[in-house]
Copies of this chain bind each other. A is one copy, B any other.
Amino acid sequence: MLQKYPSVLLENAVNEFAKLPGVGRKTALRLALHSLKRTSEEVESFGLSIIQLRKEIQYCCICHNICDTEICNICADPSRDASLVCVVENIKEVMAIENTAQFRGLYHVLGGIISPMDGIGPNDLQIESLVERVKTGAVKEIILALSTTMEGDTTNFYIYRKMNGLDVKISVIARGVSIGDEIEYADEITLGRSILNRVNFSDTLKL
């Protein structure tokens, strides 16, 4: 049903809010009316912060993570192991892995995964720059940390083929039963993979 708005300004704001992912027209109206209850300064700070984000954000020239400078904090940190590179889809995964505090190497953000259904091919991703990075000889191991989906597996295999002939170890994150999960509720594929990829128990004691 076509909703009549009492004000063109309100209608514009609702239309703009409704363009956000997961926001329908009812929520958009609620968000727009909420803006009217805030101070002018608060609303200005909201709007400008997003415009500024879009206009001034930079991408690290080494790992393609977002940053405020030419080289991101992680790549610029001399205490991190530059010979170990974790390959991820997006910025969110960098943040998730950083939050584990288990990884002291660097990253390489592909910007997505190969997905013919969405029209995303290898040339749309930062794969060539990963090959160049490995060719410098500074990288001893790359860890593929992509989604455990068909698209992720395809991208893993594509990168594996691209590294053919280069002196680099290629590993992939372990797939298995999540910690805290009960075996009886684990899905069959994951459980099967966890048996095939079993590790020496005494090795786990060192973790």
Contacts and interface: CB of A to CB of B under 8 A. Distances in A.
Output the residue of A45, A51, A94 with the most chain B CB within 10 A.
Answer: A51
Number of copies of this chain in the oligomer?
2
A190 interface: no
Contact of A27 (B22, B53, B65): B22
A21 interface: yes
Given A92-B29, A99-B1, A44 B34 contact: no
A10 B66 contact: yes
A54 B43 CA distance: 7
A19 interface: yes
> Interface residues of A toward B: which range?
35 or more
Chain A interface secondary structure, helix, strand, loop or mixed? helix
Contacts of A12: 49, 52-53
Contacts of A72: 6
Contact of A74 (B6, B38, B49, B54): B6
Nearest to A72: B6
Nearest to A53: B13
